[in-house]
């Protein structure tokens, strides 16, 4: 049976328009292509900067939700969903966070990470079911990601999340007048038309990665996973991360590398505990108790008056 396609014209969307700067893309040299991409990518960074207030609001909202026992759940289809899954997956090794705290849902599941499943984005009911399957509740934040703003799968998920009392964050790269929605926070970096018309894995994807990086890192800073600019909750699971942990301890305490490695071992491979043990000259048990009193915020212990 022949598939019946929607007659909806999305050509009005900013993400679907043609870019006058790349009209002769197929005639450019390799160097000219690189230079063009570099100029256009700079627009993505600028567009994200114009959304700084909305991004900051999302950081505060999500940090408060997680501190209160909630979760952050990214949801999307295609490139947008893959970037959400990627950001969620990178948090546990970077911040030693519980994998349940920040999760990514991709239309089509994990198979869609490496195989195209873009047709699944049209199923609004599937998005709602994905939220129901996660038992989303009023403590959680659901973060919908869609470059062009129209993805039914994402809106089905966000609608279901709102019905369950969850807070909602919506990301897209089109202005409100092109696709108006009303969620708790909307982040709309207007990156402009893509070099390759409609290929939102380019500037829109870059803006998505920038925003998600900023939000997840900002949330972890708020939750006490960072001291200064060091990842003091790094998960010591391989030689590279062990080296990083030892260097952090050595740099911040002036201990030798050998002494830092010994302290790390005594702390149970927990950099935050090791630092507190050294600075306060306390046992691992006492350091653990001290951190519990500040919900894991090392800075609050060290900088308190």
Which residue numbers are catalytic?
Answer: 90, 121
**Residue 272 in tokens:** 């935050």
CA distance 151 to 144: 10
Q: Which helix (H) or strand (E) holds 172?
A: none
Place of tokens 């070099």: 195
Cα–Cα distance measured from residue 120 to residue 126, given in angstroms and rounded to the nearest whole number: 8
Identify the CA nearest to 160 among candidates 175, 140, 176, 180. 140
C-alpha–C-alpha distance, residues 140 and 101, integer Å: 9
Q: How many CB atoms lie within 10 A of CB 242?
A: 15
Residue 21 carries which DSSP code? G
Q: Which residues contact 22 (CB under 8 A, 6 or more apart)?
A: 36, 40, 195, 196
Residues 34 and 279: their CA atoms lie apart, in Å, by 49
Place of tokens 């996973």: 225
| Beta-bridge mates of residue 227 | 230
Q: Is the dihedral of CA 262, 229, 241, 247 positive or negative?
A: negative
- Report the first-to-last Cα separation within the chain, whole angstroms: 73
- What kind and span of H or E run contains 167? strand 167-171
Annotate 247-261 with three-state secondary structure.
Answer: HHHHHHHCCCHHHHH
Q: Do 61 and 185 touch, CB atoms closer than 8 A? A: yes
């Amino acid at each position: 049976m022949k598939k019946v396609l929607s007659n909806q014209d999305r050509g009005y969307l900013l993400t679907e328009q043609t870019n006058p700067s790349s009209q002769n893309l197929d005639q450019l040299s390799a160097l000219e292509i690189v230079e063009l991409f570099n100029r256009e990518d700079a627009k993505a960074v600028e567009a994200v900067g114009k959304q700084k207030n909305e991004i900051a609001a999302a950081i505060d909202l999500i940090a408060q939700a997680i501190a209160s026992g909630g979760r952050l759940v990214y949801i999307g289809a295609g490139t947008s969903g893959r970037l959400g899954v990627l950001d969620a997956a990178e948090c546990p090794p970077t911040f030693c966070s519980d994998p349940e705290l920040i999760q990514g849902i991709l239309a089509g599941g994990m198979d869609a990470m490496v195989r195209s499943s873009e047709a699944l984005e049209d199923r609004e009911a599937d998005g709602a079911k994905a939220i129901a399957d996660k038992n989303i509740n009023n403590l959680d934040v659901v973060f919908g990601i869609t470059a062009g703003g129209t993805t039914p799968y994402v809106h089905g998920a966000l609608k279901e999340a709102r019905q369950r009392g969850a807070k909602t964050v919506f990301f897209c790269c089109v202005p409100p007048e092109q696709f108006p929605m009303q969620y708790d926070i909307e982040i709309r970096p207007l990156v402009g038309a893509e070099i390759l018309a409609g290929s939102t894995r380019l500037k829109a994807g870059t803006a998505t990665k920038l925003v998600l990086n900023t939000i997840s890192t900002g949330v972890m800073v708020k939750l006490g996973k960072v001291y200064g600019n060091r990842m003091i909750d790094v998960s010591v699971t391989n030689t590279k991360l062990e080296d990083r942990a030892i260097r952090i301890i050595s740099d911040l305490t002036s201990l030798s590398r050998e002494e830092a490695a010994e302290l790390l071992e005594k702390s149970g491979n927990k950099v935050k505990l090791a630092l507190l043990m050294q600075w306060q000259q306390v046992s691992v048990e006492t350091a653990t108790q001290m951190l519990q009193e500040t919900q894991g915020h090392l800075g609050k212990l060290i900088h308190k008056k």
